[in-house]
Structure 1
Amino acid sequence: MQKDQLLTRRRALLAGAATLGAAGIAAALAPGAGNRGATASPPAAGAPPARRPLRPSEYRLRPLTGYGPPRTTPGRTPVREEPLLKVPDNGRTVVLTFDDGPDPRYTPRILDTLARYEVRAMFFVCGEMAEYNPHLLARMADEGHVVGNHTWTHPLLTKLRRRTIRSEMERTSDVVEKHYGSRPEWFRAPYGAWNRATFELGAELGMEPLAWTVDTLDWTEPGTRTIVGRVEDGAAPGVVVLSHDAGGDRSQSVKALRSYLPFLLDSGYHVTVPRREYV
């Protein structure tokens, strides 16, 4: 009896699926559909589609558009001669970036603050730190943050041979892919030391170079109020803010974020992350 009921239910489901239009089925099976909001079926004739206003958090979480015009050769990353310093002025947008982690002492506290205000940030991770803290990469993925490549051991790349630079970058991309779910699309040279080899190898690995506009110099531990002041004074449309979540005592960086993040939001800035439209 129970088996007959299951068969009857299955036939009913199959019959219902057969009534779906071809467009509805195609939308349901589209690649990445599970990662986006579900595509609604066309409304019945005469019934206007329902629209609801976006909540402030939803607006904040909108990613920015990519840099420059679409490339003519899909899949190839251009080799730049200098890193990107800011994002397009698409309204009052600010990007927060954190280097050198993830660190189990400070990164979770930064993630907690970002989650409280429903905003996303970029984390340029070092491969050796990511390997020891894979759960933090998984959390970054779950909460919509962008993970970039900051090499494996944080060396001065301009003093290394080309094959060593590649190893530093490639190993980090591998561990990010393993624990974050995808390979990084952005990289940042340690100490901001770039050369032709770093740009070429980064492009070969499918990554764009991103530097910063506002340097908090938080690694010098200047005091929480000083870090806050540097962010608030430097805030402007399109700026990229550099802070750290590892590499030393970052308790000041954690406390500063709790102060300047609500200031930025109350000042009308949209704290978000860049997105490459063509990778």
Structure 2
Amino acid sequence: MLPGRRTLLRLGACLGAAAALRMLTAEDTGAPEGGAAGPAAGPQAAAPRLKSSAYRLEPMTAEAPPQYRTALPPVRRRPFLSMPELGPQTMVLTFDDGPDPRYTPQILGTLREYDVRAMFFVCGEMVTDNRDLLREMRDDGHVIGNHSWTHPLLIKMSREAVRDEMTRTSEVVEEVLGERPQWFRAPYGAWNRNSFEIGAELGMEPMGWTLDTLDWTTPGTETIVRRVRDGAAPGVVVLSHDAGGDRSQSVAALRTYLPRLLTSGYHLRVPPKRR
């Protein structure tokens, strides 16, 4: 795991809404698949070197998302960006890139204190050394999602490499918890036909976000709190991180905005498990 490389990729990936939406729909019109080779299958394999690119989906934070739940299974062409069906005054908190023994336990502790459930999109290579944290997430009632194995830019990888990234993570989660994830989030919010189709084959629904806290830029605790406060609304899915860099601001911000959301009448829930 190389947090520095990941941060640089994220900084290089921020673009305007129009360009990002064109990327998201390119696969729907039959654009060629990315052909860059993915990482080797071994657990010690290094993630591929990627050039800075324009794939962070700013539209997820800029506009009210359409109702993607009308998409027909088995393969969706858009991720869920909000969850209004969970009930009025309900929001969803999500955390990416973990589990990390430095920050995940603190986030779990805060959620436990307020009896709140969240979604954790985990990277397989982080799970291998932090299996107890994964069990703790499950035991506390949180939803575990698949966030790939090494957090690569999937749209730059071959279909076989994408499948390997997603399958290995589902398998290690199943090995630890006895069941596979039912949700998947593409690293950097970069989706294409491969990720949707392979996710569906593995029994997972695609989850995006409505509100990006941009906590990975370490903008300051108060800035993160303000973004959540200003973006709070029924159905909103909040994106934060519990790994991938220094997440001390994310930890501190959660301690501040979570009780405020609850006091304001919001319910923090997770989608129910599919049978």
With the length of structure 2 as denominator, give the TM-score of the two structures: 0.73
Once residues 83 and 174 of structure 1 are traced to their aligned partners in structure 2, the CA distance between those partners, rounded to angstroms, is 22
Instruction: Write out the 4+ residue segments of structure 1 that deviate beyond 3 Å after TM superposition.
Output: none
2:82 aligned partner, one-letter code: K
Query: Matches of residues 50-199 of structure 1 in structure 2 within 5 Å?
Result: 78-89=74-85, 90-199=87-196
1:205 aligned partner, one-letter code: L
Give the drift of 1:88: 2.1
Equivalent pair of 2:97/2:147 in contact (CA under 8 Å):
yes
Partner of 1:250: 247
Give the drift of 1:276: 4.7
Once residues 271 and 177 of structure 2 are traced to their aligned partners in structure 1, the CA distance between those partners, rounded to angstroms, is 17
Deviations 1:107-157 (A, max 9, x none): 000000000000100000000001110000110111100000000000000
Once residues 86 and 78 of structure 1 are traced to their aligned partners in structure 2, the CA distance between those partners, rounded to angstroms, is 19
Give the drift of 1:180: 2.5
2:170 aligned partner, one-letter code: S
Structure 2: unaligned runs, 5 residues or longer: 1-67
Partner of 2:260: 263
Once residues 143 and 178 of structure 1 are traced to their aligned partners in structure 2, the CA distance between those partners, rounded to angstroms, is 18
2:268 aligned partner, one-letter code: V
Instruction: Among all aligned residue pairs of Structure 1 and Structure 2, give the percentage whose two residues are the same amino acid.
Output: 69
Query: What is the RMSD computed on CA atoms of the aligned residues?
Result: 1.6
With the length of structure 1 as denominator, give the TM-score of the two structures: 0.72
Give the drift of 1:161: 0.4
1:88 aligned partner, one-letter code: P
Give the drift of 1:239: 0.4
Once residues 130 and 260 of structure 1 are traced to their aligned partners in structure 2, the CA distance between those partners, rounded to angstroms, is 27
Q: Any idea what SS the aligned residue of 1:211 has?
A: coil
Larger Rg: 1
Partner of 1:213: 210
Once residues 192 and 253 of structure 1 are traced to their aligned partners in structure 2, the CA distance between those partners, rounded to angstroms, is 19
2:270 aligned partner, one-letter code: V
Partner of 1:201: 198
